[in-house]
Structure 1
């Protein structure tokens, strides 16, 4: 029963709410409360407390959390190895753009082959995704960056992806075949939120060119960015996979960015080096590597 209580504890810590944890696990709130109370009795410490953000781990809870995740992950690995298959939950951490534009049809194909696997996609920043994979709260991570290296994680490049300056078809840059960062001098920029790897790359490139970036708008949603460009409110900077439809239709013009000597960006799948992969999870990697 202790592992059941630990799973409930991890869900409350992740979601910040007894109610939401109960909804995800299929329990009544009273059951979640009772399980946390039992766990606190076992460990002899208060593990969760209320704050302005909801329920958060106490000092003791924060110390327990990585061990709880490790025990749950080991139980799942043991179940996979013994059964020779996989029927549990597959959790993928992914940045928002990849969750929206790269994952869906690949997950659809994978789900067709493994209908008993529950797929869960957790959006987040690159740093959050890497931490989740290292902490075993996510089985895989999907990031978009220059080649990532880690002693703990495998980083598998899936596809090199070009970066584009995105403008309205009547913008003066729409007529050029490619553009260097210096072409954005004085341009009002419409960018993703802070923490986005390619936003950081562009701002750094502009500073290296001796320019002061003019960030007029920030959006956490790519559709908002593209709509703003369509209304001629400014210029965006996006990866190719996020604007394929707009490029084909001609609604927006995508101008390749030239920045000689810089490493390319790749869609990358990350997972722990020490993870024992049953056939179903190894097959997930194969599905992610398929280009269509």
Structure 2
């Protein structure tokens, strides 16, 4: 049964006239008659009868009226709830660096705008995040990569992230404006976990340049990496945003790593098949993806 029939029925009951109901709804009177007839066929009962020059509800019609009004009310309420998307979960996959140093202020603002949306933050490395977004296990992914594209995904570049070599303030790199691959020869390297895209880039560059490098430590935790560097156990490649506080406190120095392949961007990805609710679009707009060009 179409909601239109119930709405027409309520207007006939309100106006006591097919003609006035037709005028109010913008239908031809014949259309009102047809809709009421179909509604009566559906219920197997006469709902409206002629009384003098007006129409009035039968006993069956009187019984139906409160239900019809409630159905229409619930329909309007459901449209409002769905359009606002005021409840639900937004799942975000991202790497530790962005989860800790990029997303928090955006999540705070988003929570203020959508207080009833639960946010599930799923950490991982880029290949896993990309696959889970494509499979629909995650609503969005925020990755740190060279310019990325995939035929199944929308990609928005949010901003470029500077990668720096960090070292103890007394290290020989102090005072350099940039670090070349050859500067890392013989340096003990403290690496991020396997699967990290900027780790892979660094190792590729060093091997391609035939640099004799020394991987000394490997950690899946940024704080552990930074503390080891503070204590002079080696140098590491990290995004500047991850070490901004330590640089400000002069616990570390940070020198840009100069290489053509060292171009990394924070990027938002989501499936081209993704249903874009208001809450979803609110998140995309909030972090500024709407102002950037798709890749």
Supply the distance in 1 between the matched residues of 2:141 and 2:177 (Cα, whole angstroms): 34
The unaligned stretches of length 5 or more in structure 1 are 1-78
- Give the RMSD, CA atoms, in angstroms: 1.9
Residue 154 of structure 1 corresponds to 154
Asked if the contact 2:181/2:206 (under 8 Å) is kept, the reply is yes
Supply the distance in 1 between the matched residues of 2:154 and 2:79 (Cα, whole angstroms): 20
Residue 276 of structure 2 corresponds to 277
Residue 56 of structure 2 corresponds to none
1:129 aligns with 2:146: no
1:227 aligns with 2:196: no
Q: Secondary structure at the match of 1:232?
A: coil
The unaligned stretches of length 5 or more in structure 2 are 1-77
Supply the distance in 2 between the matched residues of 1:263 and 1:179 (Cα, whole angstroms): 12
Residue 171 of structure 2 corresponds to 171
Asked if the contact 2:201/2:262 (under 8 Å) is kept, the reply is no
Asked if the contact 1:168/1:229 (under 8 Å) is kept, the reply is yes
Asked if the contact 1:81/1:278 (under 8 Å) is kept, the reply is no
Asked if the contact 2:163/2:262 (under 8 Å) is kept, the reply is no
Question: Where do residues 229-248 of structure 1 align in structure 2 (5 Å cutoff)?
Answer: 229-248=229-248
Q: Secondary structure at the match of 2:84?
A: coil
Task: Report how far residue 82 of structure 1 moved.
Answer: 7.8
Supply the distance in 2 between the matched residues of 1:276 and 1:135 (Cα, whole angstroms): 13
Asked if the contact 1:247/1:253 (under 8 Å) is kept, the reply is yes
Supply the distance in 2 between the matched residues of 1:106 and 1:93 (Cα, whole angstroms): 15
Supply the distance in 2 between the matched residues of 1:80 and 1:132 (Cα, whole angstroms): 30
Question: Where do residues 51-130 of structure 1 align in structure 2 (5 Å cutoff)?
Answer: 83-86=82-85, 87-130=87-130
Task: Report how far residue 138 of structure 1 moved.
Answer: 0.5
Asked if the contact 2:94/2:142 (under 8 Å) is kept, the reply is yes
Q: Secondary structure at the match of 2:225?
A: helix
In the superposition, relative to structure 1, how do residues 126 and 206 fare at CA in structure 2: closer, same or farther (>3 Å)? Answer: same
Task: Report how far residue 249 of structure 1 moved.
Answer: 1.8
Supply the distance in 1 between the matched residues of 2:158 and 2:240 (Cα, whole angstroms): 14
Larger Rg: 2
Task: Report how far residue 169 of structure 1 moved.
Answer: 0.6
TM-score, structure 2 as length reference: 0.69
Q: Which region of structure 1 is more displaced relative to structure 2, 242-251 or 147-156?
A: 242-251
Asked if the contact 1:80/1:278 (under 8 Å) is kept, the reply is no
Supply the distance in 2 between the matched residues of 1:149 and 1:161 (Cα, whole angstroms): 18
Q: Secondary structure at the match of 2:174?
A: helix
Residue 268 of structure 1 corresponds to 267
Regions of 4+ moved over 2 Å: 79-82
1:249 aligns with 2:242: no
Asked if the contact 2:201/2:261 (under 8 Å) is kept, the reply is no
In the superposition, relative to structure 1, how do residues 80 and 255 fare at CA in structure 2: closer, same or farther (>3 Å)? Answer: farther
